[in-house]
Amino acid sequence: MISFPTESSKEMGKRFMEIPAFINKRGPYFNSELGVGIKCISIFEFEPSKMAEAIEFVNDYYAIYIGIPGYSYTIGTWLEATEALKLVGLG
């Protein structure tokens, strides 16, 4: 998830990075909140065997926006229920 003030929109739009073939990207989905700015979320799907490469790519993908006024981001790893159950020995 990223957020930035509306006045940084043009600069955000100028920076772009190709997505590797092993990642399926859904989004970005945008939300604008008065007084807060723009929030954006994207979902990156990939095979678990590609986790290290995918995490490195996503970190780089969002780092290219560092330096744009008001920009911030958070990266979270989300699992499907079956994946999470495997981690605790129930799958």
pLDDT number for residue 36: 81
pLDDT number for residue 34: 87
Q: What is the pLDDT of residues 14-60, one digit of tens each?
A: 988 889 999 999 999 999 988 889 999 999 999 989 999 999 999 99
Residue keyed to tokens 């008065």: 34
CA–CA separation, 44 and 46 (whole Å) = 7
Residue 91 in this model has a pLDDT that exceeds 80: no
pLDDT number for residue 77: 86
Domain edges within the chain? 2-87
